[in-house]
Amino acid sequence: MDLKVIPVLDIKNGLVVLAKMGLRDAYKPVRSWLCPFSSPVAMVEVLKSLGFKEVYVADLDAITYGTPDLALYRALASRIEVMVDPGLRSLEDASRILEVGVHKLILATETLSCLTLAEKVLETFGPGRAILSLDLRNRKVLSKAAELRDLDPLSCLRKMVKLGFKEVIAIDLARVGSFAGPDLELVRILKKVPVKLITGGGVRSLKDLKLLEQEGVEAVLVASALHRSTLSVDELSRMGFL
């Protein structure tokens, strides 16, 4: 099965912003050759017209302040398949988010305060609707959960897969928007665990995607390389990466 590229929409104050190294206070509305507007709905409509099948949404306002933007999720999910990181805080929020049409809910180690919520989400909705986001900075696990924060990435992944996750996003925030290239060594470490692996951060070119595909990565989250056109949508289409 071919690797898939999943465009990223980091949303702050209702606009798509360009993320860099996880420094959220410095994120600015995106300027992209793809779309003259930073409206999430406009961006999704363009991405769909180009052939993309799915988008990753990080609701930075919900992650920071705790209120999921259900109206926005509904608008996006009516146009394209959506996975959302809302900084999930409750099972009730999980239910409301999935009810508006979100395909998959992301539970991020960075905002997860304990494993109980993850267990409840997996038990209630199943692993087909819940994705773990293994959030790292320079390979250090980011988490508020006492059970996770002192673990190395491989140990953390093993623990969460044992909990029931079957799909994992691995993001090193230090590489996001950096054009430093993907961390192939980290990928090799994480591939020791039998799980569907999605990676993000640092991707510059088609060459990077091919290297990740060779390592067994199933999908890659991309933002900056698409907006700055260092990745060609035509090339992605020819390679079967859409």
pLDDT in tens for each of the 242 residues of the chain? 689 999 999 999 999 998 776 556 667 788 888 888 899 999 999 999 999 999 999 999 999 999 999 999 999 999 999 999 999 999 999 999 999 999 999 999 999 999 999 999 999 999 999 999 999 999 999 999 999 989 999 999 999 999 999 999 999 998 988 888 999 999 999 999 999 999 999 999 999 999 999 999 999 999 989 998 999 999 999 999 99
Backbone φ and ψ of 81, nearest 5°: -70, 135
Contact 147, 114 (CB under 8 A): yes
- The total number of structural domains that make up the chain: 1
* Contact (Cβ atoms closer than 8 angstroms) between residue 204 and residue 229: no
CB-CB contact of 100 with 82 (8 Å): no
CA distance 167 to 69: 24
Q: What is the pTM of this model?
A: 0.95
CA distances from 240 to 49, 51, 86, 213 (A): 16, 10, 30, 12
Q: Are strands 15-18 and 28-29 parallel, antiparallel or unpaired?
A: antiparallel
Q: Are 63 and 97 in contact (CB under 8 A)?
A: no
Q: What is the CATH classification number for the domain harbouring 186?
A: 3.20.20.70
Helix (H, G, I), strand (E, B) or coil at 12: strand
- Residue 54 near residue 81 (C-beta atoms within 8 A): yes
Which range of residues forms the domain containing residue 205? Answer: 4-239
* pLDDT attached to residue 36: 87
Residue 176, pLDDT score: 87
Give the residue among 15, 59, 60 at the shortest CA–CA distance from 37: 15
Contact 103, 83 (CB under 8 A): yes
> Residue 116: what pLDDT?
97
CA neighbours closer than 13 Å in the CB half-sphere of residue 126 = 3
Q: Which amino acid is at 116?
A: T
Backbone angles phi, psi at 104, to 5 degrees: -140, 140
CA 204: distance to chain centroid?
17
Whether the Cβ atoms of residue 135 and residue 171 lie closer than 8 Å to each other: yes
The predicted pLDDT at position 27 comes to 72
Q: Which two tokens stand for residue 37?
A: 């507007």
